[in-house]
Amino acid sequence: MFLDHHRILIILHDLGMVALAWAFAILIREGWPLLSNVETVFWQMLPIVLIVQSVVLWQGGLYQSIWRFTGMPDLALILRVSFIGTFAIVLVIVLFNQFELTHRSSLLFYPFLLIFLLGMPRLLYRLWHEHSFNFLLTDEANLQRVLVLGAGMSGDMLVRDMRRNQNTYLPVGFLDDQTRLQGGKVQGVTVLGAVDKLLETVTALQVDMIIIAMPTATNEQMRRVIELCEQSTVPVRTLPKLDNIVNQQISIRALHDVAIEDLLGRAKVQLDWQVIKTGLCDKIVMVSGGGGSIGAELCRQIARLNPTALVIIERSEYNLYDVEMQLRQEYPDLILYVHLGDIFDAVAMHHILGRYQPEVIFHAAAYKHVPMLQTQIREAARNNVLGTKILAEAAIKQGCQTFVLISSDKAVNPTNIMGATKRAAEIFCQAMNGRSKTHFITVRFGNVLGSAGSVVPLFKAQIAKGGPVTVTHYNITRYFMTIPEACQLILQAGAMGRGGEIFVLDMGNPVKIRYLAEQMIRLSGKIPEKNIKIIYTGLRPGEKLHEELFHIDEKLCKTTHANILLAEHRNNDWDILIKTLAQLTHACDQYLENDIKKILKTLVPELNETET
């Protein structure tokens, strides 16, 4: 351990406390003045006590602790090293046969005195640092007056960090809906009442900033709080969801502007990480489309679970470069193989799978832009259907254990080419299950916030330009979840599956896109219709007013996970399916787009051609 001058001072302090504890232990038992023989033994034993106790303090790890963050774990450590040191001293005394002149009762006092003398200075230092008198003398006019919403553990830790960083923020009050906290104090700051008192409190206390310290708040709670905040003209900051905070340590560095994810993101999803880890740990895992929004996040989640190796296939050179750089920086010990490749390239797929022999494949590669694919029928079918077929066949040939197809809510009663191709891919994977040792699992979900090509980045760009924000229909709704949440549930479903299942992720309640647009405008500090207009452009080709997560013939069943449902899939004739896919391959090879559309209709009879 590197010894800087601060640590040397701490060691010298502790040695002084050891000497004092030993001296007071003797004085309590013997009284003052000491008899000459007792004083002689005291001075004889003092070097031994100092050496033995200092070794125990060092080996016990006391000098790895930082005084300004002293807490219960540090006090428990002091208690432990004090009693261990006492026991070691007793052994040495016995060895030197000094019990003849040292009263045993003196050794009973020693550890308690040492605990007090080591612990009290540390606690006083922390108290001084967090509630520094310098803070009281600071010119409050230069500090931002902060009102904190949420007086729980997160609010406590946040204000504590403000105390440590004395040059920016001055916490002037808490608001919290828990009546038991109201009227009390947290870190010396009063809990003034319920959140409903926000507007009057902001005015009365001349608040410069509102901080929402409610990282476990539900969607409904966050909507209510932010709607109240929007009625004031005060800037608002918030903490990320608790599972997104590094080591769950709350600090002012974690604050960010309120984002749409804070409104639409839901309460933390509880996952069985042990089951997920068992399914992926020490296995070779492959992700197709690993440079996309979902694929890249899947790679990051998988990298945390200690796979034997992670193999990424991605057709975009930049996306592949980007995800590779991130993973190598964040997980330097990860064995990572990246390949530029097109899943429709059968030679490449068989070569890559044959080389690495992946045991689990997450198939995220797909075209997904609904309006664009309406006029790109061949590319949609070639990539989403035939590319899935080629990758699945390569997985079977190489003995892959699990193949997880990542599908979409647009595959249910599709009104567009994209949805039809995803449904066709589902049908093929379900049919393949049971025809080999590979377990084929399908995971179906709706929109993810902030993914490439989604509505959120579009709205952000439109708002940045001053509007207008374009919404296709006044009543259009979509299901939303965050990218990390979607990927975690994909991993959970993949671990639960035994083959042949269609897992449907519980997306909560659908969200009106109009509401999404209005909230994003408000979060940018503007007023909808006043500062930025919203115009309604009409449904685009193939676009539904409301999406669905399961077909009427797919009976939904509960699973062991509250956020994952099981849809019973419909059976399809294998011989007809293979013949139809051969026709699709021929039509793609010949660029016969009208034929491709007819074949998709054969594969997916529920495709509503009148809307495409």
Count Cβ atoms below 10 Å from residue 264 Cβ, excluding itself: 20
Distance of CA 556 to the CA centre of its chain: 29
DSSP, residue by residue, 443-495: EEE-EEET-TTSHHHHHHHHHHTT-PEEES-TT-EE-EEEHHHHHHHHHHHHH
Inter-residue contact 237 to 255 (CB < 8 Å): yes
- How far, in Å, CA of 230 to CA of 549, rounded? 33
- H helix and E strand count, the chain: 22, 22
Inter-residue contact 290 to 324 (CB < 8 Å): no
Distance of CA 211 to the CA centre of its chain: 20
Would you state the torsion angle of the CA atoms of residues 228, 231, 237, 243, taken in this order, to the nearest 10 degrees?
30
149 beta partners? 175, 212
Which pairs from 577-581 meet CB under 8 Å and 24+ separation?
577/427, 577/428, 577/431, 577/603, 581/385, 581/386, 581/389, 581/428
- How far, in Å, CA of 310 to CA of 297, rounded? 13
Residues 6+ positions from 95 with CB-CB distance below 8 Å: none
DSSP, residue by residue, 241-252: PGGGSGGG---G
For residue 555, indicate whether it is catalytic.
no
- Selecting among 410, 422, 544, 597, the annotated active-site residue is 410
Inter-residue contact 534 to 540 (CB < 8 Å): no
Which of 420, 294, 289 lies closest to 343 in space, CA to CA? 289
| Residue listed under structure tokens 């300004």 | 68
Q: What φ, ψ does residue 173 adopt, rounded to 5°?
A: 175, 160
- How far, in Å, CA of 87 to CA of 110, rounded? 11
* 3-class secondary-structure state, position 504: strand
Report CA-CA distances (Å) from 54 to 62, 94, 383: 10, 19, 68
The sign of the dihedral angle between the CA atoms of 368, 373, 376, 380 is positive
- What count of residues does the chain have? 612
In 4-102, DSSP assigns E strands to none
- How far, in Å, CA of 504 to CA of 563, rounded? 9
Inter-residue contact 432 to 361 (CB < 8 Å): no
The 3-class secondary structure across 84-142, one letter per residue, is HHHHHHHHHHHHHCCCCCCCHHHHHHHHHHHHHHHHHHHHHHHHHHHCCHHHHHCCHHH
Inter-residue contact 192 to 175 (CB < 8 Å): yes
Catalytic residues: 410
